[in-house]
Structure 1
Amino acid sequence: MTLSKRGIAIIKNFEGLRLNAYQDIAGVWTIGYGSTMHNNGRPIKPNDKLANEAQAELLLKSTLTNYVNTLNTVATVHLSQNQFDALVSFIFNVGTGAAKSSTLLKRLNTGDYRGAADQFLVWNKITDPYTGKKTASKTLTQRREQERALFLSE
């Protein structure tokens, strides 16, 4: 499957556009529409800049390829387009390693779609870069609620 235009728009909306490198709420250096790596695999660093929105879109497209491929590899059940879009958004945000070992994916692959949907809501915490403690994030809570709603919609 491929990510739909709607799926890309959802990710862009959640991530927002920033042409200068910034640290996200978990302290990870990020640029464009939430990319943490350049096309060449080099991590985003302070003072990195993108020239314009078009460059940010190219970086996003390149970044998304990895997450789309991951989902196509690890999901063993049929997915609707909305489910696919919600799951790519989720994987984009939490990372492939975390997603692959998640209860969400395990429930999905047993055909427990409702159980998988409910697992989106568990992923609303960040590790505070200063204290190392897990804390709920209002932004992530909203994102997970929207991803879950998209996953459950037809």
Structure 2
Amino acid sequence: MATVQKTTASSKTQGPTWNGAVPAAATAVVKRIEGFFSAPYDDNGALPGGTWTIGYGSIVDTNGHPVSPATPPITEAEAEKWLRRDMEGAARDVKLRVKVALLECEAAALISWTYGRGKKLTA
């Protein structure tokens, strides 16, 4: 029978403990996966019914309105600002839901996953 060893973030030696900020690795992963799009696009590709996104996968503009085909194009600098805003929201969601200490690399994975799920994430 296999033995399961309980570990905590403080007992792990794979990296620093997460301090609550968005790890650079999380942002890098999202930027690589989402790619930059200056104009709105339906993230469902050729099939209708997807979520309209812009920049690095943002689904709301600076005024909190959902991205739509009528959303004006944005610059990459604007997209990065929106991404920071959205990643901070994802980090807050992770911090609220995860009740154990995390390593920074674990938090980066959860934050990037949470960002990718969008507002569809539930407890």
- Is the shorter-chain TM-score for this pair beyond 0.5, marking a shared fold? yes
Deviation, structure 1 residue 20: 0.1
Tell me the percent identity: 29
2:86 alignment counterpart: 63
Q: What are structure 1's unaligned runs of at least 5 residues?
A: 102-154
Q: Return the index of the structure with the highest Cα Rg.
A: 2
Q: What are structure 2's unaligned runs of at least 5 residues?
A: 1-19
2:62 alignment counterpart: 39
Deviation, structure 1 residue 97: 4.6
1:138 alignment counterpart: none
Bigger share in helix: 1
Give the 3-state SS of the residue equivalent to 1:83 in structure 2.
helix
Higher relative contact order by CA 8 Å / sep ≥ 6: 1 or 2? Answer: 2
Q: Decide which of 14, 17, 20 is 2:39's aligned counterpart.
A: 20
For the aligned residue pairs, the C-alpha RMSD in angstroms reads: 1.5
Deviation, structure 1 residue 62: 1.3
Give the 3-state SS of the residue equivalent to 2:53 in structure 1.
strand
Q: Decide which of 112, 115, 121 is 1:89's aligned counterpart.
A: 112
**Aligned equivalents of 1:51, 1:36: Cα separation in 2:** 13
2:6 alignment counterpart: none
Q: TM-score, normalised by structure 2?
A: 0.74
User: Quick check: 2:39–2:74 contact (8 Å CA) kept in 1?
Assistant: no
1:121 alignment counterpart: none
Answer yes or no: is 1:10 the counterpart of 2:29: yes
User: What number of residue pairs does the alignment pair up?
Assistant: 100
User: Quick check: 1:11–1:89 contact (8 Å CA) kept in 2?
Assistant: yes
**Aligned equivalents of 2:68, 2:83: Cα separation in 1:** 17
Q: Tell me: CA distance 1:17–1:43, structure 2 relative to 1, closer, same or farther (3 Å).
A: same
Q: TM-score, normalised by structure 1?
A: 0.60
